[in-house]
């Protein structure tokens, strides 16, 4: 029953040109909060607060307004909490879509989002993370478009980590556009526990989330010079490096319990390729972690056995 929200996590340049008409993230700085009964939600964002406010212990909320901020006055604090009735752990979640939850049947749905008329390159913002047990957090973005009465996925990007981060740190979720069409809707989701067995007490802070539009390369970003492809037919992950200079680099693949299932020794690379085979792996979500020159890049994959 602790799987309640885990699968939602789901749910994968420094020359910046500020284009006209870029889409803002509504209340991406989490400065405005709306009070409703015993809880508050950040304006334009949905959370589990309404669904669990009447659960035991009464008045429980998993998303709160925090004065621990990267800038401005507030941030969003997401905490995974243990309920007693029913007995389950509910992660903190914020989403620009509509979150529909029934905690007693442990079912949920996320629909909708925010209109968009352009194609950003990545989602960025700031975070702090204080995990318990083997928890990982995730911050992701998805783009969709109505097509003949159905909603097609156009693009997706995600950031995830299991490391403790006690100071405000930038994150980047680079967007992979699956289809060439212009999306009409995007949704952002952040979750404090993105694992199958979340741990109560895990806390994620998020602040100043925005969309970015980039040409060139930001060499300060952990993903710069790295391209990753998943070959589902051959059951391989292909990692291509195109660094400006040789960098000491190591690769690890984690399952969602935090166990290392692939580990490649650190070596100096510049322009090369690495192949990670996952034949025989259990179906589930895996996190690829690349460490290079003091930087860390993480990308999430769903793997079928």
Cβ neighbours for 2, distance < 8 A, ≥ 6 positions apart: 88, 89, 196, 197, 198
Domain boundaries, the chain: 6-212, 226-303
Of 13-17, 113-117, 173-177, 234-238, the least confident: 13-17
Tell whether the model's pLDDT for residue 221 goes beyond 80. Answer: no
What is the Cα Rg of the chain in Å? Answer: 19
> In terms of pLDDT, which residue wins out, 11 or 268?
268
Overall average pLDDT of the 6-14 stretch: 33
Q: 77 or 105, which is more confident? A: 77
Q: What is the mean pLDDT of the chain?
A: 86
pLDDT at res. 176? 81
Residue range 151-167, pLDDT digits in tens: 999 999 888 888 899 99
Helical (H) or strand (E) element with 156 = strand 150-161
- The mean pLDDT value for 176-192 works out to 93
Q: What class is the 226-303 domain?
A: mainly beta
| Reported confidence tier of residue 268, pLDDT bands at 50, 70, 90 | very high
Least-confidence region, from 94-103, 134-143, 293-302: 293-302
Output the pLDDT for position 73: 96
| Cβ neighbours, 10 Å, residue 163 | 12
Statement: residue 26 has pLDDT above 70: yes
Flag whether pLDDT at 215 surpasses 60. no
Residue positions counted in the chain:
305
pLDDT for 171:
86
Q: Do domains 6-212 and 226-303 have the same CATH topology?
A: no
What does the pLDDT average to over 274-299? 89
Domain 6-212, CATH: 2.60.120.890
Alpha-carbon distance of 78 to 70, in angstroms, equals: 15
Q: For residue 218, what pLDDT band results from cuts at 50, 70 and 90?
A: low
Distance CA 187, CA 192 (A): 17
Please indicate whether residue 19 or residue 171 has the higher confidence score (pLDDT).
171
pLDDT at residue 23 tops 80: yes
């Amino acid at each position: 029953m602790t799987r309640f929200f885990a699968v939602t996590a789901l749910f994968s340049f420094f020359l910046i040109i500020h284009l006209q008409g870029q889409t803002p993230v509504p209340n991406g700085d989490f400065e405005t909060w709306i009070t409703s009964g015993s809880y508050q939600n950040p304006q334009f964002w949905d959370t589990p607060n309404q669904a669990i406010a009447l659960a035991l212990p009464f008045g429980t909320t998993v998303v709160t307004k925090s004065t621990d901020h990267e800038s401005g006055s507030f941030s969003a604090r997401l905490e995974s909490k243990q309920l007693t009735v029913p007995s389950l752990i509910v992660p903190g979640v914020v989403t620009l879509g509509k979150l529909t939850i029934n905690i007693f049947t442990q079912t949920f749905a996320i629909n909708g989002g925010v209109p968009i008329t352009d194609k950003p390159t990545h989602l960025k913002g700031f975070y702090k993370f204080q995990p318990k047990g083997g928890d990982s957090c995730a911050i992701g973005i998805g783009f969709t478009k109505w097509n003949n009465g159905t909603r097609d996925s156009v693009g997706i990007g995600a950031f995830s980590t299991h490391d403790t981060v006690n100071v405000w740190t930038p994150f980047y979720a680079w967007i992979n556009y699956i289809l060439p069409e212009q999306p009409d809707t995007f949704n952002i989701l952040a979750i404090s526990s993105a694992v199958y067995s979340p741990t109560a007490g895990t806390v994620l802070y998020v602040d100043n989330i925005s969309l970015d539009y980039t040409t060139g390369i930001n060499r300060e970003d952990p993903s710069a010079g790295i391209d990753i492809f998943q070959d589902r037919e051959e059951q391989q992950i292909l990692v291509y490096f195109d660094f400006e200079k040789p960098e000491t680099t190591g690769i690890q693949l984690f399952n969602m319990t935090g166990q290392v299932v692939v580990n490649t020794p650190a070596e100096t690379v510049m322009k090369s390729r690495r192949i990670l085979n996952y034949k025989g792996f259990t179906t589930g979500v895996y996190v690829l972690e690349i460490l290079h020159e003091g930087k860390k890049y993480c990308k999430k994959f769903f793997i079928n056995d």
